[in-house]
Amino acid sequence: MNKREMKDSYTFEELREIIADLRGENGCPWDREQTYESLKKCLADETEEVFEAVDKNDRENLCEELGDVLLILLLNSQIASEEGAFTFDDVITGLCRKMIRRHPHVFAGEKAATPEEALDRWKEIKRQEKAGLIR
Ligand code: MG
C-alpha cells in the first residue's frame, strides 16, 4: 500500500511521486497496464476536453482538464523512465533549452518587435537546429 494523505496543496515533486506510485508494484492495475500506444487515445480525449473548456470559457474546468493532459504526459514520461529511455527531468531540460535557444529576443539581447518577427526568428532557429547547425 502507498499511504498518501489528502492535503490542500502539493508540489510538482509530489505529483511525480504519485505518478510513480500509480505505476509501481503496489500501484493501480489500469495505470500499470498503460503503454505509449494506449495513452494516445487518452491524450487526444483529454486535449479535446481542454478545447471544450476553452470554448465554454470555463476556467475551473480548464484547470482540471489541463491537469488531465499533464497526467498523460507524466505517464508517458514514467513509462520512458521505467524503460531507461529518458526521464521527466530530460523532458523539462530539453524544453527549457529549446525555449531559451528559440527566444534570443528574450534571453540573448536580440530584438523582435512583433509577433511575426518572433515567429520568423523561431522558424529560422528551428531550421538551423534541423540542419544540425545549432543545438
Ligand atoms: Mg478530463
Q: Give the pLDDT confidence of 37-46 residue by residue, as tens digits.
A: 999 999 999 9
Alpha-carbon gap, residue 119 to 46, rounded angstroms: 28
Work out the average pLDDT over 118-132.
94
Q: Looking at residue 15, what is its pLDDT?
A: 96
CA of 121 to the centre of ligand 1 (A): 35
Q: Give the pLDDT confidence of 66-119 residue by residue, as tens digits.
A: 999 999 999 999 999 999 999 999 999 999 999 999 999 999 999 999 999 999
Query: Using H for helix, E for strand and C for coil, what is the string for the chain?
Result: CCCCCCCCCCCHHHHHHHHHHHHCCCCCHHHHHCCHHHHHHHHHHHHHHHHHHHHCCCHHHHHHHHHHHHHHHHHHHHHHHHHCCCCHHHHHHHHHHHHHHCCHHHHCCCCCCCHHHHHHHHHHHHHHHHCCCCC
Q: Looking at residue 73, what is its pLDDT?
A: 98
**Which set of grid coordinates corresponds to residue 113?**
518587435
Q: Is the pLDDT of residue 1 over 90?
A: no
CA of 49 to the centre of ligand 1 (A): 6
Q: Looking at residue 70, what is its pLDDT?
A: 98
CA of 41 to the centre of ligand 1 (A): 12
CA of 100 to the centre of ligand 1 (A): 31
CA of 92 to the centre of ligand 1 (A): 23
CB 47 within 8 A of CB 69: yes
Q: Is the pLDDT of residue 56 over 80?
A: yes
Work out the average pLDDT over 29-57.
98
Report the percentage of the chain scoring pLDDT > 90.
Answer: 96
User: Chain-wide mean pLDDT for the chain?
Assistant: 96
CA of 39 to the centre of ligand 1 (A): 13
Q: Is the pLDDT of residue 2 over 90?
A: no
Alpha-carbon gap, residue 42 to 31, rounded angstroms: 12
Q: Is the pLDDT of residue 135 over 80?
A: no
